């Protein structure tokens, strides 16, 4: 995973930057604190103020290692700009992503190291996780609703660090996806998100710094998706 500015400065929600390349409806910026999405998480959005007015950043696309910020207008911009990230959307996604890590940890611990087969984290306050659980009792999964919220209320610290990719691959439980591992940074390290006393796993998403910063969550549905997969849906309350 690239080393994002939003990882280093998660509270940087407004910043000045400059357009280094443009095409109608999209810009490359000299620096950006937007999270581009990935790992099931949708991207940040923002307001971009330029010399002649403002535009909305509604998406981020990656092309040849470059992060194009997609606009809601076909303008072709140049010069200095001011970007204001949508704070509520960022907060919602950070809460949900942290909650999915708690859910993931509980499933991993209580269901013999079950791995993740898919995830989706949405700006509307909902998320889903798919697990490789061919023999699981859905009632047993549903019973994790209480422990999940218990962890939120405990106020556990959430912190991130970087670990050499080879060391991460050799450490059981750090890479939880059944089929896809987060790509390393250019220096060969991988980002590890830790919930103190509960969980450590590779992740490039946005997170809270303490579980108590999250609203409570509730499980809304558990579905059987094929012979092996169980899909757990949650939402912020």
Q: Which pLDDT value is given to residue 2?
A: 65
In the chain, where the domains are located = 5-85, 90-236
Across the strands, what pairs with 3?
none
Mean pLDDT per segment of 10 residues, for the chain of length 237 residues? 86 98 97 95 98 97 93 96 99 99 98 95 98 92 98 98 93 87 82 97 96 98 92 98
Given the candidates 3.30.70.890, 3.40.1080.10, 3.20.20.70, 2.40.30.130, the CATH classification of the domain at 5-85 is 2.40.30.130
Question: Looking at the domain that runs over 90-236, which CATH code has it been given?
Answer: 3.30.980.10
Cβ neighbours of 16 (radius 10 Å): 11
Structure tokens at 72: 């809601």
Contacts of 25 (CB under 8 A, 6+ apart): 70, 71, 73, 74, 75, 76
Half-sphere exposure of 122 (CA within 13 A, CB side): 11
Structure tokens at 213: 């910063």
Q: Which pLDDT value is given to residue 39?
A: 87
- pTM, entire model: 0.95
Q: Which pLDDT value is given to residue 116?
A: 96
């Amino acid at each position: 995973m690239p080393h994002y500015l939003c990882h280093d400065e998660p509270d940087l929600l407004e910043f000045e930057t400059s357009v280094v390349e443009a095409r109608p409806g999209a810009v490359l910026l000299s620096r950006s604190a937007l999270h581009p999405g990935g790992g099931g998480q949708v991207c940040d959005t923002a307001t971009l103020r330029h010399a002649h007015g403002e535009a909305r950043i509604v998406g981020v696309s990656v092309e040849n290692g470059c992060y194009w910020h997609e606009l809601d207008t076909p303008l072709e911009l140049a010069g200095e700009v001011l970007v204001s990230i949508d704070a509520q959307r960022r907060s919602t996604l950070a809460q949900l992503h942290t909650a999915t890590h708690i859910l993931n940890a509980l499933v991993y611990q209580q269901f013999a190291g079950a791995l993740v087969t898919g995830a989706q984290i949405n700006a509307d306050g909902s998320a889903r996780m798919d697990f490789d659980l061919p023999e699981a009792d859905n009632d047993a999964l549903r019973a994790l609703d209480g422990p999940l919220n218990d962890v939120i209320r405990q106020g556990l610290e959430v912190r991130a660090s970087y670990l050499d990719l080879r060391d991460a691959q050799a450490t059981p439980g750090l890479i939880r996806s059944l089929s896809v591992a987060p790509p390393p940074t250019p220096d060969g390290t991988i980002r590890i998100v830790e919930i103190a006393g509960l969980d450590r796993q590779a992740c490039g998403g946005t997170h809270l710094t303490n579980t108590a910063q999250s609203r409570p969550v509730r499980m809304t549905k558990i579905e059987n998706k094929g012979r092996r997969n169980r899909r757990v849906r949650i939402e912020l309350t």
